[in-house]
Homo-oligomer: A and B are copies of this chain.
Amino acid sequence: MAEQKATNITWHDAAVTPAERAKNLGQKGCTLWMTGLSASGKSTIAVALEQVLLQRGKHAYRLDGDNIRMGLNKNLGFSADDRAENIRRIGEVAKLFADAGIITITSFISPYRKDRDAVRALHDAAKIPFIEVHIDLPIEEAEKRDPKGLYKKARAAVAAGKGMGFTGIDDPYEAPSNAELVLPSHQLSIAESVQKCLDILESRGLLKA
Protein backbone atom coordinates (compact mmCIF):
# COMPACT_ATOMS: atom_id res chain seq x y z
CA MET A 1 0.00 0.00 0.00
CA ALA A 2 2.90 2.28 0.74
CA GLU A 3 4.13 1.52 -2.76
CA GLN A 4 0.77 2.28 -4.30
CA LYS A 5 0.69 5.62 -2.59
CA ALA A 6 4.20 6.30 -3.78
CA THR A 7 3.14 5.87 -7.41
CA ASN A 8 1.30 9.20 -7.09
CA ILE A 9 4.62 10.87 -6.63
CA THR A 10 6.27 12.30 -9.71
CA TRP A 11 8.72 15.11 -10.15
CA HIS A 12 11.26 16.48 -12.56
CA ASP A 13 14.94 17.12 -11.98
CA ALA A 14 14.80 20.87 -12.40
CA ALA A 15 13.95 23.19 -9.55
CA VAL A 16 10.51 24.73 -9.25
CA THR A 17 10.25 27.78 -11.51
CA PRO A 18 9.08 31.26 -10.43
CA ALA A 19 6.10 30.84 -12.80
CA GLU A 20 5.03 27.62 -11.02
CA ARG A 21 5.25 29.37 -7.67
CA ALA A 22 3.32 32.37 -8.97
CA LYS A 23 0.55 30.12 -10.25
CA ASN A 24 0.32 28.37 -6.90
CA LEU A 25 0.21 31.58 -4.89
CA GLY A 26 -1.73 33.83 -7.27
CA GLN A 27 0.94 36.49 -7.12
CA LYS A 28 4.55 37.19 -8.03
CA GLY A 29 7.24 37.35 -5.42
CA CYS A 30 8.89 40.74 -4.94
CA THR A 31 10.56 42.93 -2.37
CA LEU A 32 9.10 46.22 -1.15
CA TRP A 33 12.04 47.90 0.51
CA MET A 34 10.88 50.66 2.87
CA THR A 35 13.53 53.19 3.79
CA GLY A 36 13.24 56.31 5.90
CA LEU A 37 14.15 58.03 9.14
CA SER A 38 13.41 56.61 12.56
CA ALA A 39 9.74 57.44 13.39
CA SER A 40 8.89 58.08 9.74
CA GLY A 41 6.20 55.40 9.82
CA LYS A 42 7.92 52.53 7.98
CA SER A 43 6.80 49.81 10.38
CA THR A 44 3.28 51.17 10.81
CA ILE A 45 2.74 51.19 7.06
CA ALA A 46 4.41 47.77 6.69
CA VAL A 47 2.21 46.18 9.40
CA ALA A 48 -0.96 47.60 7.81
CA LEU A 49 0.09 46.65 4.27
CA GLU A 50 0.88 43.08 5.30
CA GLN A 51 -2.55 42.68 6.89
CA VAL A 52 -4.41 44.20 3.96
CA LEU A 53 -2.58 41.90 1.54
CA LEU A 54 -3.47 38.87 3.68
CA GLN A 55 -7.12 39.97 3.84
CA ARG A 56 -7.07 39.90 0.06
CA GLY A 57 -5.74 36.36 0.00
CA LYS A 58 -2.20 37.41 -0.82
CA HIS A 59 0.90 36.16 0.97
CA ALA A 60 3.16 38.75 2.47
CA TYR A 61 5.83 38.74 5.13
CA ARG A 62 7.62 41.50 6.96
CA LEU A 63 11.28 41.62 7.82
CA ASP A 64 11.92 44.21 10.49
CA GLY A 65 14.03 44.98 13.51
CA ASP A 66 11.93 42.71 15.71
CA ASN A 67 12.55 39.52 13.80
CA ILE A 68 16.02 40.30 12.40
CA ARG A 69 18.05 42.16 15.01
CA MET A 70 17.41 39.59 17.76
CA GLY A 71 17.82 36.66 15.39
CA LEU A 72 19.81 36.46 12.17
CA ASN A 73 21.73 39.67 12.90
CA LYS A 74 22.12 39.39 16.66
CA ASN A 75 25.89 39.08 16.22
CA LEU A 76 26.13 42.49 14.52
CA GLY A 77 26.73 45.82 16.22
CA PHE A 78 26.57 49.36 14.88
CA SER A 79 30.02 49.89 13.36
CA ALA A 80 30.09 50.96 9.72
CA ASP A 81 31.00 47.42 8.66
CA ASP A 82 28.29 45.85 10.78
CA ARG A 83 25.65 48.26 9.47
CA ALA A 84 26.56 47.36 5.91
CA GLU A 85 26.53 43.64 6.76
CA ASN A 86 23.15 44.10 8.47
CA ILE A 87 21.58 45.47 5.29
CA ARG A 88 23.41 42.95 3.10
CA ARG A 89 22.00 40.00 5.04
CA ILE A 90 18.50 41.49 5.08
CA GLY A 91 18.75 42.02 1.33
CA GLU A 92 19.78 38.40 0.79
CA VAL A 93 16.94 37.10 2.95
CA ALA A 94 14.40 39.40 1.25
CA LYS A 95 15.59 38.04 -2.08
CA LEU A 96 15.05 34.46 -0.87
CA PHE A 97 11.52 35.29 0.33
CA ALA A 98 10.70 37.02 -2.94
CA ASP A 99 12.14 34.04 -4.82
CA ALA A 100 9.76 31.87 -2.79
CA GLY A 101 6.88 33.91 -4.25
CA ILE A 102 6.19 36.01 -1.17
CA ILE A 103 5.48 39.75 -1.24
CA THR A 104 8.29 40.70 1.08
CA ILE A 105 8.15 43.97 2.99
CA THR A 106 11.27 45.21 4.75
CA SER A 107 11.27 48.14 7.14
CA PHE A 108 14.70 49.32 8.13
CA ILE A 109 16.12 52.85 8.18
CA SER A 110 18.77 51.66 5.68
CA PRO A 111 20.26 55.16 5.47
CA TYR A 112 23.06 54.56 2.96
CA ARG A 113 22.39 54.66 -0.75
CA LYS A 114 25.28 52.30 -1.44
CA ASP A 115 23.83 49.54 0.76
CA ARG A 116 20.35 49.88 -0.72
CA ASP A 117 21.71 49.92 -4.25
CA ALA A 118 23.62 46.71 -3.53
CA VAL A 119 20.35 45.05 -2.48
CA ARG A 120 18.68 46.36 -5.63
CA ALA A 121 21.53 44.96 -7.76
CA LEU A 122 21.12 41.58 -6.06
CA HIS A 123 17.45 41.51 -7.01
CA ASP A 124 18.08 42.80 -10.52
CA ALA A 125 20.65 40.07 -11.15
CA ALA A 126 18.07 37.44 -10.15
CA LYS A 127 15.27 39.20 -12.10
CA ILE A 128 13.26 39.62 -8.90
CA PRO A 129 11.16 42.81 -8.71
CA PHE A 130 12.56 45.34 -6.25
CA ILE A 131 10.44 48.31 -5.25
CA GLU A 132 12.15 50.94 -3.16
CA VAL A 133 9.65 52.87 -1.06
CA HIS A 134 10.91 56.08 0.49
CA ILE A 135 8.91 56.98 3.58
CA ASP A 136 9.71 60.64 3.21
CA LEU A 137 9.10 62.39 6.51
CA PRO A 138 11.15 65.58 7.06
CA ILE A 139 13.52 65.31 9.99
CA GLU A 140 11.65 68.13 11.86
CA GLU A 141 8.46 66.08 11.72
CA ALA A 142 10.25 62.90 12.79
CA GLU A 143 11.70 64.75 15.78
CA LYS A 144 8.26 66.07 16.70
CA ARG A 145 6.86 62.50 16.69
CA ASP A 146 9.81 60.86 18.48
CA PRO A 147 7.64 58.14 20.08
CA LYS A 148 10.59 56.40 21.75
CA GLY A 149 12.49 59.57 22.73
CA LEU A 150 15.40 58.55 20.51
CA TYR A 151 15.87 61.92 18.84
CA LYS A 152 15.86 63.66 22.20
CA LYS A 153 18.50 61.25 23.45
CA ALA A 154 20.61 61.73 20.33
CA ARG A 155 20.40 65.56 20.58
CA ALA A 156 21.46 65.37 24.23
CA ALA A 157 24.37 63.09 23.37
CA VAL A 158 25.56 65.45 20.63
CA ALA A 159 25.20 68.47 22.98
CA ALA A 160 27.33 66.61 25.53
CA GLY A 161 29.98 66.00 22.89
CA LYS A 162 29.23 62.27 22.67
CA GLY A 163 28.05 61.33 19.23
CA MET A 164 25.67 58.39 18.84
CA GLY A 165 25.81 58.11 15.08
CA PHE A 166 22.03 58.59 15.03
CA THR A 167 20.55 58.85 11.54
CA GLY A 168 19.44 62.39 10.74
CA ILE A 169 21.21 63.88 13.78
CA ASP A 170 24.88 62.97 13.62
CA ASP A 171 24.83 60.42 10.83
CA PRO A 172 23.50 61.06 7.34
CA TYR A 173 20.28 59.79 5.83
CA GLU A 174 20.92 59.53 2.11
CA ALA A 175 17.50 59.87 0.53
CA PRO A 176 16.88 57.66 -2.51
CA SER A 177 17.09 59.42 -5.84
CA ASN A 178 15.44 56.58 -7.75
CA ALA A 179 12.77 55.20 -5.40
CA GLU A 180 9.84 53.57 -7.19
CA LEU A 181 7.48 55.13 -4.65
CA VAL A 182 7.75 58.16 -2.36
CA LEU A 183 5.34 58.40 0.56
CA PRO A 184 5.39 61.77 2.39
CA SER A 185 4.03 60.27 5.58
CA HIS A 186 3.13 63.64 7.13
CA GLN A 187 0.77 64.33 4.23
CA LEU A 188 -0.79 60.89 3.81
CA SER A 189 -2.93 58.76 6.09
CA ILE A 190 -1.72 55.22 6.74
CA ALA A 191 -4.59 53.95 4.59
CA GLU A 192 -3.50 56.21 1.72
CA SER A 193 0.08 55.02 1.99
CA VAL A 194 -1.08 51.40 1.98
CA GLN A 195 -3.26 52.10 -1.06
CA LYS A 196 -0.30 53.54 -2.93
CA CYS A 197 1.72 50.40 -2.17
CA LEU A 198 -1.17 48.25 -3.41
CA ASP A 199 -1.43 50.41 -6.54
CA ILE A 200 2.21 49.95 -7.47
CA LEU A 201 2.01 46.18 -6.83
CA GLU A 202 -1.11 46.04 -8.98
CA SER A 203 0.28 48.20 -11.76
CA ARG A 204 3.33 45.97 -12.03
CA GLY A 205 1.21 42.85 -12.30
CA LEU A 206 2.52 41.43 -9.03
CA LEU A 207 -0.87 40.67 -7.48
CA LYS A 208 -1.66 37.99 -10.03
CA ALA A 209 0.16 34.89 -11.27
Contact = CB atoms under 8 A, between A and B. Distances in A.
Nearest to A23: B54
Interface in A94-112: 95-97, 99-102
Contacts of A15: 47, 50, 62
A191 B96 contact: no
A183 interface: no
Report how many copies the assembly holds: 2
A85 B75 CA distance: 10
A48 interface: yes
Given A92-B72, A96-B71, A102-B100, A9 B191 contact: yes
Nearest to A95: B71
B195 A5 contact: yes
B101 A59 contact: yes
Given A191-B9, A192-B6, A96 B63 contact: yes
B93 A96 contact: yes
A20 interface: yes
A85 B72 CA distance: 10
A204 interface: no
Contacts of A6: 189, 191-192, 194-195
A51 interface: yes
Interface in A121-150: 122
B57 A24 contact: yes
A144 to B, nearest CB: 21
A110 B135 CA distance: 41
Going nearest first, the 5 A-B pairs with the smallest beta carbon separation are A61-B100, A11-B51, A72-B92, A6-B191, A9-B191
